[in-house]
Amino acid sequence: MMVLSNNCFLIVLLLFVSAGAAQKVEYTTCVNHGSPCLYEKLLCPSECPSPYPSDPQAKVCYVNCDSPLCQTECKNRKPNCNTPGAACLDPRFIGADGTVFYFHGKSNEHFSLVSDLNLQINARFIGLRPAGRPRDYTWIQALGILFGSQSFSIEANKAATWEDEIDHLKFSYNGKEQIIPETYPSVWVSTQNEVKVERTSRKNSVLVTLPKVAEISINVVPVTKEDDRIHSYQIPLDDCFAHLEVQFKFYGLSTKVEGVLGRTYQPDFKNPAKPGVAMPVVGGENKYRTMSLLSSDCGSCVFSPGGVLNKDESLVMDFGTLDCTSGASTGNGIVCRK
């Protein structure tokens, strides 16, 4: 029996079917009493037959124990930069409505990506400004997460050149560095179970879970020579600008949620990104700038250490990793827009 990130338990039952050779079929079920899927045996899809595959590149069998659908699905635990909740590249965001926009901020400063009553997620930007350019090119180098009275941060270590066999991730919990073994699977859980970190490959990829609050898929990647050539970043020889690719999944955000990305989850949000523009850039640096990676002092921040939601502030919708690649509608009342 294993504990899942959404506080439900996973029971894996193995059924061997004889068809010339034994074939393993795995089932999952939620056994927490708050789940509508309580004790239902749910067969994993053939495309992803295991909740914990031996190959870290394989999709996993997953069931959202808080959903009334009670269906298993295949889930890629690595970030998908082309779906809502993504923050990748320099930085390119996809809002809850599927709209793509860019927020450049400024190098060596911090900005609130999400600020809700019980959750604050900040980003540290790194970057450079080549001669003659009007703005910084920026990337997300670190995330700082506040929840209740706790804090957690994850950073991409600076590197002159990129090497796949070196882990570039650094973790801190309540200001103390945490070492997570470079093995797959490898899991670290905080003392009070408020945060869990799972390596989704031996190096440079993790899934961070705040139970019933958020899941964050993270990769560390460099600015490649091809990216540098296409965009004329003029990357120096002594820094490959290792940065984070991120995809967020949120549970029960309030109607007051703010932040560069968080505001797109407001039920009446109107995206300022201009339609039809190849690279729609939105501003708000002054509204979302924070003093540090772990502060909630921005002009629009609403985070409260108490994190109390009342009935009128909580959204019913589970803001999952919606997929806009197969059509215009997500099936969740959201229409994807480019």
For residues 119 and 214, the answer to whether their CB atoms sit within 8 Å is yes
Q: Do both 126 and 240 map to the same domain?
A: yes
DSSP letter at 45 equals P
Res 308: pLDDT = 57
Residues 158, 206, single domain; the answer is yes
Are 258 and 301 in contact, with CB atoms under 8 Å apart? Answer: yes
Query: CA-based angle 100:106:109, to the nearest 5?
Result: 115
CA dihedral of residues 79, 81, 83, 85 (deg, nearest 10): 70
Rounded Cα distance between 34 and 46, Å, is: 28
pLDDT in tens, 149-184: 999 999 999 999 999 999 999 999 999 999 999 998
Query: What Å distances lie between residue 141 and 124, 212, 231, CA to CA?
Result: 6, 26, 19
Strand partners, 265: none
Tell me, what's the pLDDT at 310? 53
Radius of gyration of the chain (CA): 20
Domain for residue 236, yes or no?
yes
In-domain check, residue 95:
yes
- Domain assignment present for 6: no
Instruction: Count how many domains the chain has.
Output: 2
Say yes or no: 134 and 32 in one domain.
Answer: no
Q: DSSP secondary structure string, 6-40?
A: TS-EE--EEEEEESSSEEEEEEE-B-STT-TTBT-
HSE-up of residue 132 (Cα within 13 Å, Cβ side): 3
Q: Do residues 302 and 204 share a domain? A: yes
Three-state SS at 141: strand
Contacts of 256 (CB under 8 A, 6+ apart): 116, 117, 266, 302, 313
On whether residue 5 sits in a domain, the answer given is no
Does 114 share its domain with 42? no
Same-domain status, 275 and 318: yes
Residues in the chain: 338
Same domain, 161 and 285: yes
In a domain, 283, yes or no: yes
Residue 196 in tokens: 């869990």
In this prediction, residue 34 carries a pLDDT of 67
User: Which residues are paired to 145 by β-bridges?
Assistant: 121, 152
pLDDT tens, position by position, for the chain (338 residues)? Answer: 343 434 443 444 433 333 333 447 688 777 555 678 888 888 988 888 887 787 777 888 887 776 788 888 888 778 999 999 999 999 999 999 899 999 999 999 999 999 999 999 999 999 999 888 889 999 999 999 999 899 999 999 999 999 999 999 999 999 999 999 999 878 999 988 899 999 999 999 999 999 889 999 999 999 999 999 999 999 999 999 999 999 999 988 999 999 999 999 999 998 888 777 888 999 899 999 999 999 999 999 999 887 555 545 554 345 544 444 444 333 333 334 44
Spatial CA neighbour of 213 closest among 283, 122, 318: 318
Measure the CA–CA gap between 262 and 230, rounded to whole angstroms: 30
Residue at 15 is within a domain: no
Residue after which a domain boundary falls, among 45, 75, 105: 75
Residue 73: the pLDDT is 86
The string over 120-154, giving b where at least 16 C-beta atoms fall within 10 Å of a residue's C-beta and e elsewhere, is bbbbbbbbbeeeeeeebbbbbbbbbbbbeeebbbb
Task: Looking at the structure, tell me whether residues 34 and 164 fall in a common domain.
Answer: no
The answer on 215 and 105 residing in a single domain is yes
pLDDT at position 279, please? 85
Domain range spanning residue 44? Answer: 21-75
Does 223 share its domain with 237? yes
In a domain, 248, yes or no: yes
* 31 and 154, same domain (yes or no): no
Identify whether 308 is part of a domain: yes
Give the whole-angstrom CA distance, residue 156 versus residue 141: 6
Q: Are residues 69 and 83 in the same domain?
A: no
pTM of the shown model: 0.80
